Structure 1
Amino acid sequence: MALKEIKYKDKTFKLSYEIINSTKKESLLILHGWGSNKEIMKQAFSKELKEYKHIYLDMPGFGASSNDMILTTKDYSQIVKLFLEILKTDPKIVMGHSFGGKVATLLNIPYLVLLSSAGVVTVKPWSVKVKIATFKLLKPLGFAKIRELFIAPDAKNMSHEMYET
């Protein structure tokens, strides 16, 4: 594991990453999903696609990477771009799972491999719409503590900043 410091919007992010097959010319950036980390992606893909240099990155707030501010998907993509600039690498392929796929779509990399990716707008079921509306209605009335009833399992242990992201 290695760390790179990225400066973005007057904040410093310490990004954890790992490179496998470092002698290969062509690189492949692999981005994890929400609530996940590079280690899970590495377990799944490190033995595959051996003709590529693999770059596994913990995006801000996940795994061993720091984050103490609310970020948008565009912010994540900008931070990843800065990370790639610092590494002096220009991957031709980015593979993203779920939220990682959503970030990947903003990177303008020639080839995208999207694995169960978030960000593709689909109609929410009525039950989800009711859940969201109920929480938004009760939150200003001081019922923010009932958040635990509404929060998705992959966000239960996240900080306020990460949840708001």
Structure 2
Amino acid sequence: VVRAASPVILRIIILGAFFVYSTTIILYPNPNIITCTMRIWLREIGFALSYGALMLKTWRISVIFRVRSAKAIKITDIDLIKRLGVIVGVFVLCLFVRTLVSPPVVIVGRTADNLKAFLCQSDWWDHSFTILEFLFLLWGIRLCIMVRKAPSEFNESKFISMTIYNEFLLSIFLNVSM
């Protein structure tokens, strides 16, 4: 059971989730340029690792399910990790350009009680990353639709699909409400 679940890929998913959730710890003290930059990098790399690994697991199921030949296709975890490296590389390249061209800025906001609050300012780069994430999640939804009837020994594709759908819908809701 453990081997079929791809423990290496599961560890990568956990590492990505750790990166995403560590952004709240990074911003606990007053934000500055370094913490704002770290928040962006950890969030995006964590997203790429977690959802990239989930989508590549789904992609492997879709490739195996679609094959009509007598020859079995074998996609190993190493093959998935190489592809995940490309996905993370694209995110890192975008982050590198973003950090060089337009480093994050700390602004001072005011609460309703006129208290100061230091905040990392959002700009069009943040919206660009949101669009990149949406496109990535749309690819994931396409994969989920392709594997929805695929027989799976442990039926993990169903749960991966629910995860991708939830992230997509929550991202849309949160970005529209902001």
- Larger helix proportion, structure 1 or 2? 2
Same fold (TM > 0.5): no
> Normalized against structure 2, the TM-score is what?
0.25
- Larger strand proportion, structure 1 or 2? 1
